[in-house]
Structure 1
Amino acid sequence: MESLNEFIANIGGLVWGPYMLTFLVGTGVYLTLRLAFLQVRMLPFALKQAFSKHPNTDNHEGDISHFGALMTALSATIGTGNIAGVATAVVLGGAGAVFWMWVSAFFGMATKYAEGILAVKYRVTNSKGEMSGGPMYYLERGCNLKWLAILFALFGTIASFGIGSSVQSNSVAASLQTSLDIDTWKTGVVLTIFTGLVILGGIKGISRTASIIVPFMAIVYVAGGLIVMFYHADLVIPAIEKILSEAFTGSAALGGAVGLAIRYGVARGVFSNEAGMGSAPIAAAAAKTDHPARQAFVSMTATFLDTMVVCAITGITIVIGLLTIPEGTIAAGTTGASLTVQTFDYLLPGVGGSLVTFGLIFFAYSTILGWCYYGEKCASYVFGDKSVPVYRVIYVLTVLLGTLEFQGDAKSTTEIVWGLSDVFNGLMAIPNLIGLVLLSGVVVKETKDFLERRRKGELP
């Protein structure tokens, strides 16, 4: 078991190594330059598109609203990475990792924008009359690379059973067992039933549920973080100064290794907002819209909200904890969700830890729903639309399996599942990034067309 775990960890290290991170961020930098820093110039417009009601959308092709598509994408991206991933980045890369997380998100906004345009432009209507789109379709129809499209879809299908279902349900079950002493299998049964009921409704059912859960959980979590900052207002500026200084000078505890801050900040930022991974455009393709660029602007806001807002709350709060929590209060070696829970609990006694646990449960559950949609679209691309019911049954069962305790080393089993999920999640990015670079000219052309038609008053 240990040797298998080590082997998977080594593969994961290769997939998520410096070459991959350079490819991910480099694609974002390239698209940012080609789009003339669109994520800065058009962010107010993008936010307005995301949260405004659009008239006459029933006349447009698509299955769900712009807001519904955004919430479905956010349901999958705002997850355990916002709580556990940020804490891990700070522990391994120092406070400066938070800054590099923001940098990766800044360029990732351009990547998400490009994914959104291509998802809508190359989407198709399936045998059920529903929209299907994403990297597999723009790789096939835009790049004429069917084999690469199949690879992406296979990677996405396999990744969904780990990062989307079993890993998330395992996190929820472990959290409830620790905080409320609830047996993991009981949590598994409840999660499985609720997941099954929602996904039977397809994208519309997932979108409706996400549109309720995601805004609610994000507002509660962000409000909790802001309350922490309010009570420790004198430490907010020092915390930000520490983040900025260690981003370029490194932490003494880490031997001044700025490279670690960059590595873990970028890696955890990408893991959280999924810019360049190719998952979010699958949801974007379902939106009712009058132009590919309009939905692309909405998609772009997902990265901003995920990393620049939610991850920032976690990162700044943990750094405030580093500045104020006495040494020894939190056990040495504590990381991940446990560090975030204990930090919030110390800074906001009585409710802080419960707030994070509450957030973790809903973040993880929403991720289960969002990734089910991603996985079924990938599966239907490879195996046909008739495979969807079978996929959903298997997916729901993996939600339950993730919460069961098996004989042997349960910790190693969990690490193997996490490791495999990381590997296939990373492998998804390679075909997607190739498609984004090859079709960058299409992205620029569609953007110019949208802006010109808006200027002429042809589009509202």
Structure 2
Amino acid sequence: MDALLDFFNLLDGYLGSAPWFPYVLLGVGVFFTIYLKFPQIRYFKHAWKVVTGKYDKSDDPGDTTHFQALATALSGTVGTGNISGVALAIFLGGPAALFWMWATAFFGMTTKFVEVTLSHKYRDKTEDGTMAGGPMYYMDKRLNMKWLAVIFAIATVISSFGTGNLPQSNGIATSIEATFGFSPQIVGGVLAVLLGLVILGGIKRIAAVTSKIVPVMAVIYLVGAFAVIFANVENIVPSFVSVISDAFTGSAAVGGFLGATFAYAFNRGVNRGLFSNEAGQGSAPIAHAAAKTKEPVSEGMVSILEPFIDTIIICTITGLVILSSGVWQQKHENIFDRSDMVFLQGEYKEDVPEDTQNLYKYLNKLDGTTIEPYSGEINVVNGTAVTGGYTLINARSLAENVRYYAGSTDDLFSGTLTVIDGDIERENIVVQGDSLVHSAPLTAIAFTKGFFGDFGQYIVSIGLLLFAFSTAIAWSYYGDRAMTYLLGPKSVMPYRVIYVAGFYWAAVSDTTLVWALSAVAIVLMTLPNLFGIMVLHKEMKETVNEYWQRINK
């Protein structure tokens, strides 16, 4: 697993986490925003009219209504990115990361408008009579680049697991286990069966289910979130100030948070923003291709609403819950993931400015740090280390009150642990203590700091269950449309079986490995799609102008 994690992180280092990727993603959105004269603002009101059915015609070709297409696409984007992803972005980059999630969403509204319009324009009717669309169809039919379409379709299949399946299942299982104590095996098994029952019905059953789940899950989640925000209302303005003021400077060390550079916050914010709203990834156009309409631009209008609802509203609310409650900078008792831990040579303390600065450089991969991973032996007696000369970092923070167990938290470990290059060699050692936490557990803790008290964590678990499960449903459709393009309708059923099996497997897998896989898969879809819509920028403007000429007659 460690070797696999290193491989995914290496790929991600050249792709999504590379310095150039956020500039490419935002650059395309900025270009189309200026080129099309801010459609996310000018067409916003019209988009609401379209989605409410004002322009619907019963005889238009397609499988779903505008609202059902929006609900399906939203169910594909509103998932762990809104609960786990925001928490992870703030954990990594501090308040500044939320600002860059906003920027990604604002310009992503235009990007999504473009990709959905072009994909809908070149959709196809399949052998079974259903609609199939997505970037692979405009790449093939309009650009005459079948090779690029094949790359995108393969990447979509991979990403259906890396974005819509594995991290969603893992997020659900982690949250349900932490809140209710149910084992990941039971949670994964039950939900895998339910997932199979839904996706076997195809797009019409998927659209029917998601159009009911999305509104319910949004109401439940927002009630719990505002209970925290109103309980900490005095911290709302300072939270907004920190988001804005840190945006171009990075976030300084505060509490257990050891600080993040501008570059780190920028990269993590944009990266998590893309994971949340998927603008530019090319996934949502697959759902929108099923919408009943002869006007590709009208469906593009509907898609403008997705990043606004997903990121600017829901992610902002999650961010305010985490920031206003203060839990993001506090240490909490937790079981340490092996991939989050590293033993460092020497002893460091948070109240020593020189130590804090050195750790800041180490964690942000800056020059000038003298810190090296620890190699040596640690003697442990009844779960407590009695050897000095090292520092344990967990989740980018100095670990405290650390205890070591053999196999489970019922059996305190005594003996000698061998550490090589910062990692414990012995596999069955469980490490528990106080440190920062991230992802869904951080959001769950934040939800307990409101009017509902400890009950708030149940709202997160229920919300995450609904958010993530609906995302998995939507992404199964994206994957089966890609399989239809690659190998025909007969390949869909084997794909769905593997998809359901993967959903179960991820429930019992390591969190960090799953997130690393999803980070790579996202970029494998995004780059071909961004290239394709840039090539067709003139056609996009012509298509929009022709649409308004017909509407205004």
Q: Which residue of 1 aligns with 2:251?
A: 251
Aligned length, in residue pairs = 447
1:400 corresponds to 2:504? yes
- Is the CA contact (8 Å cut-off) linking 2:66 and 2:292 kept in structure 1? yes
2-structure distance, mates of 1:224, 1:180: 17
- 1:187-244 per-position Cα deviation (integer Å, ceiling 9, x unaligned): 1221122111111210011000000111110122123222322222222222111111
Partner residue of 1:275?
A: 279
Deviations 1:60-110 (A, max 9, x none): 011100001111111110010111111111121111111111011100000
Matches within 5 A, 1:36-435: 36-50=37-51, 52-54=52-54, 57-253=57-253, 257-322=261-326, 327-328=330-331, 331-348=434-451, 349-404=453-508, 411=510, 414-435=511-532
Please say if residues 132 and 286 of structure 1, whose CA atoms lie closer than 8 Å, have aligned partners that are also in contact: yes
The residue number in structure 2 matching 1:443 is 540
CA shift at 1:55, angstroms? 6.0
Moved more, 155-164 or 312-321: 155-164
* Distance (whole Å) between structure 2 residues aligned to residue 146 and residue 326 of structure 1: 49
Structure 1, gaps ≥5 residues long = 405-409
| Distance in 2 (alpha carbons) for counterparts of 1:160 and 1:56 | 30
Native 8 Å contact 1:78 1:273 kept in 2: yes
State the match for 1:8 in structure 2.
8
Q: TM-score, normalised by structure 2?
A: 0.78
Q: CA–CA distance in 2 between the matches of 1:14 and 1:370?
A: 29
Query: How far, CA to CA, are the matches of 1:356 and 1:385 in structure 2?
Result: 38
Shift of 1:156: 0.8
Deviation per residue, 1:411-443 (Å, 9 max, x gap): 3xx543432332122111111111110111121
Q: C-alpha separation between the residues in 2 aligned to 1:206 and 1:49?
A: 21
Larger relative contact order (C-alpha < 8 A, sep ≥ 6)? 1
SS of equivalent to 1:83: helix
**Secondary structure of the corresponding residue to residue 87 of structure 1:** helix
Deviation of the 1:18 alpha carbon:
2.1
Aligned counterpart, 2:340:
none
Q: Distance in 2 between matches of 1:295 and 1:365?
A: 25
Q: Distance in 2 between matches of 1:365 and 1:284?
A: 19
Look up the equivalent residue of 1:337 and give its one-letter code: A
Q: For 1:73 and 1:119, how far apart are their aligned partners in 2?
A: 14
* Paired residue type of 2:277: N
Deviates more, 1:98-107 or 1:155-164: 155-164
Q: 1:392 to 1:328 in 2, by over 3 A?
A: closer
Q: Say if 1:57 and 1:65, in contact at 8 Å, map to a contact too.
A: no
Greater mean deviation of Cα atoms: 342-351 or 97-106: 342-351
Q: Larger radius of gyration, structure 1 or 2?
A: 2
Which residues in structure 2 correspond to 1:25-40 (within 5 Å)?
A: 25-40=26-41
SS in 1 for 2:507: coil
2:374 is aligned to none
Matched residue SS, 1:276:
coil
**What CA deviation, in whole Å up to 9, does each residue of 1:128-172 have, x standing for no partner?**
111111010011112111100000001111221232223322221
Q: Secondary structure at the match of 1:298?
A: helix
> How far apart, CA to CA, are the structure 1 residues paired with 2:99 and 2:128?
45
When structure 1 is superposed on structure 2, of 205-214 and 257-266 the one drifting more is: 257-266
**CA–CA separation in structure 1 for the residues paired with 2:104 and 2:62:** 31
Percent identical: 43
Cα drift, residue 328 of structure 1: 4.5
Aligned 8 A contact 1:119 1:138 in 2:
yes
1:345-379 CA distance string (max 9 Å, x none):
12341322111111111111011100000000111
Counterpart in the other structure of 2:356: none
Secondary structure of 2:109's counterpart equals helix
Partner SS state of residue 350, structure 1: helix
Q: Which is richer in helix?
A: 1
Shift of 1:256: 6.9
- Inter-partner Cα distance in structure 1 for 2:470 and 2:195: 9
Tell whether the 8 Å contact from 1:249 to 1:256 is kept in structure 2 after alignment.
no
Q: Which residue of 2 aligns with 1:407?
A: none
84 and 183 in structure 1: CA distance in 2 versus 1, 3 angstrom threshold: same
SS of residue paired to 2:454: coil
Distance 1:75 1:256 in 2: 32
- Alpha-carbon distance in 2 for matches of 1:215, 1:278: 24
| Alpha-carbon separation, structure 2, partners of 1:23 and 1:326 | 31
CA–CA distance in structure 1, aligned partners of residues 260 and 7 of structure 2: 30
* SS class of match (1:365): helix
Contact 2:286-2:481 within 8 A present in 1 as well: yes
Contact kept, 8 Å, 2:171 with 2:440, in 1: the verdict is: no
Q: CA deviation at 1:332?
A: 2.4
Change in CA separation of 1:417 and 1:237 when aligned onto 2, cut-off 3 Å: closer
Cα distance between partner residues in 2 of 1:455 and 1:168: 43
- The 1:61/1:326 distance shift into structure 2, 3 A limit, reads closer
Q: CA RMSD in A?
A: 1.8
Question: Aligned equivalents of 1:325 and 1:381: distance in 2?
Answer: 44
Contact 1:282–1:374 (CA<8 Å) still a contact in 2?
A: yes
Distance 1:70 1:326, change over 3 A: closer
The one-letter amino acid paired with 1:163 is: T
